[in-house]
Structure 1
Amino acid sequence: MPAETAPHERTWMAFPREGVTLGEGAETREEGYRAWTEVAHAVAQFEPVSMVVDPSEVSRARRMLSADIEIVEAPLDEFWMRDVGPTFVVDPDRPGTLGAVDWIFNGWGAPDWAEWQKSAQLARVVAAHVGAERIDSLLVAEGGGLHVDGEGTVLLTETVQLDPRRNPHADRARVEAEMARTIGATDAVWLSRGLTRDYDDFGTNGHVDIVATFAAPDHVLVHEQQDRAHPDFEVSRLVRQELSDAFAARGRAVTITGVPAPTTLRDEHGWVDWSYINHLVTNDGVVLCGFGEEAADARARETIGEAYPGRRVVSVDARPLFDRGGGIHCITQQQPTVR
């Protein structure tokens, strides 16, 4: 699996459809449609975008999306493309070959509220559409549950990969073997957990893509909650220490940069998990979550811009996404350029 900073052919997304995730009431649903659309248009500034759209939403999608965004019609229920779609890989021994890992998707552990059976087929739909070689996996996993450096290292969290609701018979060795077989990751760095809000009923149980990411093989960005009142103050310190210890044990000189969280601590549902780590790196750009805090958002753009030199950083208001359980990285999936 190439690093996210490698060249992209395009980015894949899925358009919202009515249901639990989109929310109840016309105003709430419109907010969700707008949020997904704004992210699509931000990404399209840098690279082509393909959008999977349920038949029930095609007319709305054509009305809201710019004409240069490709619409691929297919049945879906969930629309967090990072998790329901394929994870793309390339084969260094077979130039020009694109692979698509088809993980098993069960709605983040088969909670009672989730509907996922239709979207669980999207990896096959997307792979067929782009002519990718499908790589089937028996592991229940989601793209948001892993981050790679493009050189064989993958970041994982124990509470996701070893979740008994996902993989009741898995252990570290089995997960690592499957990561090596499917995405070519030969070194797994395990984190013990994710952010606090992610363990609520509508959470993922600790996805890594809201906690830490590789800006480069020797540079990791980490969510940094600076307010001691928030439980993620301790979580972010723990994650940073685990990363530091893991790379030190491997003899790797890796810079770890904390990206401070916004100052907002709570919403009507409890502690927020607002994180700038959940961004998408694109060709020549970065699409970054914004949270309506001018100073914090500007500081994050500066920090992220320094981490990805030569790329233009744009912010999109991600609060409607986080209200529904994720962020910009969660609703996008990059398709690497094959050479």
Structure 2
Amino acid sequence: MAIAPLQIPGYATPQSLDFSSLANLGQVYKKAEADRGLRDAFANGVPTDAQGLAQLGAQVGAYNPQLGLSLAQLGMTAGQRQQEQERQARLDQRQTSRDAVDDRFREESLRLQKAAAARANEDKPLIKEVTDPNTGATSFVRINPRTGELSPLGSPMPASQPNNPFGGGKFNEGQGKAAGFTDRMLQSEGILSGVGDKPGVQDQGSGLAGAWGGAMEAAGNAPYVGGVVGALTNNLKGADRQKYEQAKRDFINAQLRRESGAAISPSEFDSANKQYFPSVGDSAEVIAQKAANRRAAVEAMGREGGPSYKPKYTFDESGRVVPYGKKPSGNVTSSGVKWSIE
């Protein structure tokens, strides 16, 4: 038998209570705790070193596993980047040491040559049979032991192509350095503009290829976390773009080290990059002008090499890099220009 609710005069009937809103209270507290933990983890910012990123990844992973894994992977990338920088620094240090040894060797060689000249009998000329390295012809010459000046005996020797196509003159103290820098610049120019009929990679500095490659290069040089992420962009560059960047660096380092003799600042490197190499938006005339600037720099450096310096490459009449001292084959002039009879 149903019992009617008790009705008490003067009192309202009590309403039923709804506890359904408390069902998700645990999830609310858990999310609040995770948010508070993430705020505490990022309170001091994002570290840039490998160890700091790894520790942050472990701390964040307790609240957001996916974000924690991403930070841990970024830490691994930072560590690899740091190891690569340390390896490159060791290579640069070894190259600097080798350059110093070469400089001392050349200075000692020059000192011995000067000492030998000082001991020579200045009043008695030397008669010697010499062979022209360009024609193979032999003749007798009179040599001044003090100055090293050659004068022919009998009829004058016919003029021939000199060892150094960029200039002549007496041997000087900086000849060895200038010759080495010229070789590096010529090798770089051969990669950029090509040797003979072989194409170069100069177009990697302009157009769409230059825009993409420049973006990758900028990402690789970005500081802090950008630099860490940018290290991965080297794998996205094509072989020609990597050749272009290496040849550009070698050319600029050879040119600026000769001029300053000291460490090259980023502003100096950037100025030389804009002066000698194509960039996105350059017209064909500007690209040709920059190539002419590189040629002028190579020729100026080569003239300092002295008369005994014989490079592996030179420029033909059109400004292209060609092997020096090789006899042309087929219908090609000595300067590398093709000809035909029609």
Higher RCO (CA < 8 A, seq sep 6+): 1
Larger relative helix fraction = 2
Larger relative strand fraction = 1
TM-score by length of 2: 0.19
Larger radius of gyration: 2
